[in-house]
Chains A and B, each alone.
Chain A
Amino acid sequence: MAGFKPQFYPGKSKVAANRKKYIDPSYKLEKLRTISDDELVKIMGHRVPGEAYKTTHPPLAEMGEPACPIREMVEPTPGAKAGDRIRYIQFTDSVYFAPLTPYMRAWLGHTRYRGVDIGVLSGRVPLEARERDLEKVAKELVETEIFDPARSAVRGATVHGHSLRLDENGLMFDMLKRYVYDNKSGNVVYVKDQIGVPLDTPISVGKPVKEEELRKRTSEFRVDGDPFRKDTELVGFIQRLHMLRTEAGFDPSKVKGI
């Protein structure tokens, strides 16, 4: 259909506009830091840099596939083609003006990346994919404006801390102390991988983004920032949706002219 332009998210607040921007795959996320491929592989801890990808089944071309019109049509991702294992990267996002809320990770992940499995829990968001596909996706998730070294963290286990007060350097609490603030450089440095195994060499993920900048970029509604209830358009949208769900549950054929 010509004319149709996806709109992604309603709302008139700055937070709603940020949500819309991040979900929209045509918006290029701003790159704020560089993490090398090897460093990222080390932080995730699934394989040693340079090690071959382990497989869960033979490459598709070797094993052959059942006669299925969908398999014939749908192009497998490079990782699926090679038979890679499915691995994960998991994030914790502070409630204090982190760039993303947990749900945002799922929404933008599904509009931007193919063949990903994202789950949202109360304090953590895992993204699972075939290993080589995961590494590509993880790079963008860590290097761009949707990650902040202080308020977002890569945590595979013992994730708690998203709703706790920040420490004296503005870092989110981490019981496993996977990362520390380097007073000299001002950088956040990972000293353990995502599940807490010490790294041979520390990995810097750069400087925390400044508070005022975070408040500009955040997709979190907060009463001491951009309160959800002030965005009356969004509140009305959500209320309408819930009303429609309820009325349709009673009798879908009677819901007309809504």
Chain B
Amino acid sequence: MAKYTDKIELYDDRGRLFASKVPLEALSPLQNPAIQKIVSFVKQCVTVNLEGIEKALATGELGGKWCIIQGRSLKLDLVKNADSIADSLKKTLQVSKDDDTDVKVLKGGKHLLVKVPAKRLNAGVEYTTGVTSTAAALCCSIVENFKVSIWNADLIHSAVWGRYPQTMEMLGGNVSSLLSVPQQNEGMGYALRNVPCAHIALITKKNAMNAAALSSILEQAAMFEMGDAIGNFERLHLLGLAFQGLNGNNMVYDIVKENAKSGTLGDVVVSTVKRAIADKVIKPMDKLSSGYVPYTTDDLNLWNAYAAAGMLAGTMVTCGSARAMQHTPSVFIYFNDLIERETGLPGVDFGRVAGTGVEMAFFSHSIYGGGNPAVFHGNHIVTRHSKGFTIPCVSAAVALDAGTVIYTPEKISGVVGEVLSEVPELREPLKYVNEAAVSIKGGV
């Protein structure tokens, strides 16, 4: 029996109806099998930069840039022999013969996409099993396949693991995953938020709808883990995920379409308010003496979802028309300022997004250092305050940028984004989450 009576129309990234009257909870990270699969893949999928290992060994530059051990190098043809490395890596990682372990050779052997078996993760409590077991298994495979002596095995370790354990993370290493080490999380449950928007934009191959969807899935799933999306606040987050992240009722797509040719951010605010009035989410109160009419609602959670969807559409129109990512914080502040002044109702996340925008504007415009929006994530010191509603917009903006930043998403993401875009559920989350929601809607 569903807790909530809300029903959602599901659409794809091109505004085509996929299914009607799907219960809201079919999109919940607690129930939707595709979201659970995505979360599992984030833990299980690890990227290996074989070319990077080969280069590190050949030059002796181990454990980070300029960290060269003079006179120590090793010439191993790893890229050429990627297939045999992949075979033995798979065998080493496997728990049983036909489990879900997988190792894919990509880009002619330069990269490997590794899926660590779920059984290994289930046997521990920490998600780092993905990278630790891949790195360790890779060291074993290289030592064995290339008959590396005891005197050179340390080089292999450093080329694979980087400077770890002298550093907290695998600095200069060549095995990575979407998730950072737990010590780099700002608080409890922040792991899924610690994914830079550069990765998200590249994994989804710069499809802004899918970038927003993947970001929203990770952010809102994290809300459950952080203790935010529970009790009185669960529906707030579920509606946000449905309407902002997953284009529920085609709201994001419709509003973008309405303003695609000549709309401003202000026009997007007007479209959002019109939609909320038409859907009877908000209604006018008595006229004030100036003639201004404030609006009221009996469902602030739903109003928040409408505003959040409007804000994503506003980002898409503003950053989309400029083909530039830097406008995101300005959208966060002024979309909310304008919608609050238009209606008298609180903006997205009840003021938290506007506040986040102020900080992000400072840290993304070279005022107090920082970086371009592609380095931001939900765990970032200046963008963690909104509970899941800002980062999907940042990811969409990064996806829409045509090349205006010095540190490009490609440079920031390295091999991670490119390699993980090979996982269909991560690349096209909207499609898979919609399908999964329909498959369970009867049982919710």
Contact = CB atoms under 8 A, between A and B. Distances in A.
Contacts of A56: 403-404
Contact of A66 (B207, B236, B266): B207
B256 A73 contact: yes
Contact of B262 (A7, A71, A114): A114
B330 interface: yes
Interface stretch (A164-172, A192-200, A248-256): A248-256
Contacts of B288: 10, 12, 233, 237
A67 interface: yes
Given A68-B206, A77-B321, A1 B274 contact: yes
Contact of A71 (B275, B298, B326, B400): B400
Interface in A94-128: 103, 106-107, 110-121, 126, 128
A252 B265 contact: no
A252 B273 CA distance: 19
Interface string B273-285: 1110110000000
Interface string A209-253: 000000000000000000000000100010011001100110111
A25 B317 contact: no
B334 interface: yes
B324 A71 contact: no
Interface string B286-314: 00111111101110110010000000000
Most buried by B among A23, A67, A117: A117
Interface string B364-393: 010100000000000000000000000000
Interface residues of B, number: 76
Interface stretch (B55-63, B129-137, B345-353): B345-353
B277 A253 contact: no
A128 B13 CA distance: 30
A50 interface: no
A136 to B, nearest CB: 13
Contacts of B266: 23, 25, 110-112
Interface string B30-71: 000000000000000000000000000000000000000000
B338 interface: yes
B83 interface: no
Contact of A74 (B316, B340, B344, B361): B316
A76 B15 contact: no
Contacts of A258: 296-297
Interface string B220-244: 0000000000001101100000000
A66 B427 CA distance: 14
Contacts of A254: 232
Nearest to A10: B292
A117 B326 contact: yes
A249 B338 contact: no
Interface string B325-339: 011011001110110
B264 A70 contact: no
A11 B260 contact: no
Contact of A110 (B261, B262, B330): B330
A110 B324 contact: no
Contacts of B304: 248, 252
Nearest to B313: A70
Given A76-B323, A114-B321, A253 B403 contact: no
A117 B327 contact: yes
Given A75-B261, A110-B334, A111-B265, A253 B300 contact: yes
Contacts of A4: 270, 273-274, 277
A128 B365 CA distance: 11
A56 B350 CA distance: 37
Nearest to B235: A253
Contacts of B264: 25, 110-114
15 contacts: A8-B341, A8-B342, A11-B290, A25-B264, A80-B322, A83-B403, A106-B333, A107-B334, A110-B318, A115-B327, A116-B330, A128-B326, A244-B346, A245-B350, A257-B296
A-B complex: 7 closest residue pairs judged by Cβ atoms: A111-B266, A74-B320, A57-B403, A115-B322, A115-B321, A66-B206, A10-B292
Interface of B: 13-15, 205-209, 232-233, 235-236, 253, 256-257, 260-267, 270, 273-275, 277-278, 288-294, 296-298, 300-301, 304, 316-318, 320-324, 326-327, 329-330, 333-335, 337-338, 340-342, 344-346, 350-351, 361, 365, 367, 396, 399-400, 402-404
Given A1-B277, A68-B400, A114-B317, 10 more contacts: A10-B288, A56-B403, A69-B208, A69-B209, A76-B402, A83-B403, A112-B264, A114-B263, A244-B300, A251-B232
Interface of A: 1, 4, 6-12, 16-17, 23, 25, 56-57, 60, 63, 65-71, 73-77, 79-80, 83, 86, 103, 106-107, 110-121, 126, 128-130, 133, 233, 237, 240-241, 244-245, 248-249, 251-258
